[in-house]
Amino acid sequence: MTARSLESGAPARERAASPSLWARIWQNDAPGYLFLLPWLIGFFGLTIGPIISSLYLSFTDFDLLTDPNWVGASNYVRMFTNDPKFLASMRVTMVFVIFSVPLKLAFALAVAMLLNRGMRGLPLYRALFYLPSLLGASVAIAILWRQIFAREGLVNDFLSIFGIVGPSWISTPQYSLWTIIILAVWQFGSPMIIFLAGLRQIPQDMYEAASLDGASKWRQFVKITLPLLTPVVFFNAIIQTIEAFKSFTPAFIISGGTGNPINSTLFYTLYLYQEAFGFFRMGYASALAWVLLALVGLFTAFSFLTSKYWVHYDD
Amino acid sequence: MTDAPAKLTVVGANRLTPTQRRIVSVLMHAALLTVSVFMLYPLLWMLAASFRPENEIFTSASIIPSEWSLDAYVRGWNGLRTGFGTFFTNSFIVSILSVCGNVLACSMAAFAFARLNFRFRSFWFAMMLMTLMLPYQVTLIPQYVLFRQLGWVNTFLPLVVPKFLAADGFFIFLMVQFFRGLPKELDEAAQMDGCSPWRIYWKIIMPLSMPVLATAAIFTFIWTWDDFFGPLIYLSEMKSYTVMLGLRTFTDSTGESDYGGLFAMSVLSLVPIFLFFLFFQRLLIEGIATTGMKR
């Protein structure tokens, strides 16, 4: 119908231009969008849509079974004024992030520096140190950890050689979180590999020049290695911090899903899980998720904003 | 890898005598070996414990069992109402389907981003990078509601379908980096000869990208195999459990009394990952070094 009316009524120039415009769009854009189609469906259906609807749900009392009722900001208000478990879980996650990430990165860098000195057997060591990173996220390793730090576990067996009688580390509130921090630091292999790749990019003649000028190893590290490595440090720190915020399995397995003793391993993600799938307080859990998003977003924005003061780029 | 460090030893040679250098090298190997032993001891200990007779597990911290026994494996395998055979089958099904989905869907998206021109390409690419930073908790509840309404709870679909929709942006990013390194002339020549984009993707780009596709496939397999959270919320009937859920149930029910069986099944659950590590270590390490993957 439209094609016919175009053919009869429109001036010849337009008639020629408009099909070719559409043809051009079809030819230029369609293949790209066709290849992108699965991702686009996923992006809208599994990411953007759910983000918006979880923002909405965070202002409701949704419980999965009945329709959500709008409750305003009361979920958020309750969180910060009347929910000790929220504050406890926030504290646990913060302590975990603040200690596990720097310790893990420091370990990774130290071992990478050692390995980068041209030792024989580098591939073997690299593989051995990487293995825990690969296995570490598994439930099996969390089970192993629970056993290692139990009252009659491996750690106490070892301590008993020196006549020390250790407590049950996982059920003592002061120590339980630290067993999970140790588990995280144990998996320093993958940032170590990234550090190794970064160290190889540093031109060796810089060190030669510096050592000819009599700079000590420590000075070379502080003045050459560290500044040139800051982009890699930055990258590792961002990735590891986001991962640390999301950590769930070890705390779940080690505490049997409870976050005990006295909430000392109640990771934020674990608390969110309990609220959503234990008590079906889906509205409240959505609000918890948005606070987590805000936290991760703030952290990332802060890192990027401050990065220009300490991350050294070549250009 | 070997060139740069060799140079560094030359620098060291200016100051240290050969004997001193040997001492430094011995000390460093000693330090690294000590760290390795400390790190790997728990793994070896678990392996050993799984072969110990039941009464001996907690009596010694040493690695070598006094006698080797497969009892724990037999007990563990049948320790729950549903056997671990079912859990392993389920895990393999989910992991292999996820690998197919990720390799196919992510490479298609990556091909579009790296090789095709279309409107708003850089906008979509930026969106894709944003999703990398997103904590999954934010989409968790609406996704759960969606999959529940579709009647997918207690099936593998919620675990697998997102992979076919390229939900894991890490792999798109990894593949884009690789595709961009392939010579552009290949596509142009093929286009001259009248090749469609689909044929260019399937006949030229994909065959040339085997290393990156293999890396993505292996990491997808390992991450899916290890995944605990997804199965935890979507699978509630024991016959559809994956290995990780089976292990967790084991710890809850009999774990306290039968550590041997629990350890034996834990060891078995790590075997597929360890095999990948053994045979594709180089690919994995290069994959991490070039893109900085999280694990």
Tell me, what's the pLDDT at B256?
A: 61
pTM, full prediction:
0.84
Quick check: A284 contacting B, CB < 8 Å? no
Contact B8 A136 (CB under 8 A): no
How far is B258 from B49, CA to CA, in rounded Å? 12
**What's the gap between Cα A68 and its chain centre?**
31
pLDDT at residue B293 in the model: 55
Asked if the model's pLDDT at residue B252 lies above 70, the reply is: yes
Min mean pLDDT across A8-22, A34-48, A70-84 is at A8-22
Contact assignment for B164 to A35 by CB distance below 8 Å: no
Spell out which residues of chain B touch residue A186, defining contact as CB-CB under 8 Å: 39
**From CA A261, how far away is CA B46, in angstroms rounded?**
25
Share of chain A above pLDDT 90, in %: 22
Contact A119/B267, CB-based, under 8 Å? Answer: no
Farthest CA pair distance, chain B: 74
Q: Where are the domains of chain B?
A: 3-69, 81-291
> Which residues are registered as beta bridge partners of A70?
A60
Given this model, what pLDDT does residue A39 score?
93
Q: Are B243 and B88 in contact (CB under 8 A)?
A: yes
Residues in chain A closer than 8 A to B266 (CB atoms): 139-140, 143-144
Q: Are B112 and B118 in contact (CB under 8 A)?
A: yes
CATH number of B81-291: 1.10.3720.10
CB contact A243 to B (< 8 Å): yes
3 state DSSP class of A70: strand
Among the partner residues B108, B137, B244, nearest to A272 by beta-carbon distance: B137
| pLDDT, tens only, B84-112 | 889 999 999 999 999 999 999 999 999 99
Neighbouring residues of A24: CB distance < 8 A, sequence distance ≥ 6: none
Residue A60 bridge partners (DSSP): A70
d(CA B203, CA A16): 36
* pLDDT-derived band at A149, boundaries 50, 70, 90: confident
The lowest-confidence range among A92-96, B69-73, B217-221 is: B69-73
CATH architecture label of A74-310: Orthogonal Bundle (1.10)
Domains in chain A: boundaries = 2-57, 74-310
Q: Which two tokens stand for residue A218?
A: 């420590």
Mutation target among B137, B226, B249, B268 for the A interface, most CBs of A within 10 A? B137
Q: Indicate if ipTM > 0.85.
A: no
Q: Which among B117, B131, B263 has CB closest to A47?
A: B131
- The answer to whether the beta carbons of residues A195 and A236 sit under 8 Å apart is yes
Q: Is A270 on the interface with B (CB under 8 A)?
A: no
Lowest mean pLDDT among A166-170, A282-286, B41-45: A166-170
What pLDDT, in 10s, does the model give residues A179-198? 889 999 998 888 888 888 88
